[in-house]
Amino acid sequence: MRLTVSKFAKLADTTVRTLRHYRQLGILVPSQKNENDHYVYINEDFKRLHEIQLLQSLGLSLNEIKACLEDPKYSFNEIIRFQEQSLQQRREAIDCSLALIERINWLTEQDQLHESNSEILMLLMNSMRVEEAQKKLLQKYVSKDIIDKVFPEDISKQTYLDGQLYHLLLLVQRAIVNDLKPDHPVIQQQLHDIVTDTPLRNLIFNDEVNNEELYKNVKPYESLVPKHTMDFLKEAFEVLNLKKNSSLKD
Mean pLDDT of the chain: 83
Calpha distance 123→128 (Å, rounded): 9
Calpha distance 60→69 (Å, rounded): 12
Across residues 63-85, what is the average pLDDT? 87
Q: Which CATH number among 2.60.40.10, 1.10.1660.10, 3.10.129.10, 1.25.40.20 corresponds to the domain 5-74?
A: 1.10.1660.10
pLDDT band at 183 (very low <50, low <70, confident <90, very high): very high
pLDDT band at 148 (very low <50, low <70, confident <90, very high): confident
State residue 247's pLDDT score: 60
For 79-127, the pLDDT digits (tens) are 888 889 988 998 998 998 998 898 888 878 765 555 678 888 888 888 8
> What are the structural domain ranges in the chain?
5-74, 79-249
Instruction: Please state the pTM of the whole predicted model.
Output: 0.61
State residue 227's pLDDT score: 83
State residue 180's pLDDT score: 94
3-state helix vs strand vs coil in the chain, percent to 5: 70, 0, 25
Amino acid at 143: S
C-alpha torsion 182→183→186→191, nearest 10: 60
Helix (H) or strand (E) holding 186: helix 185-196
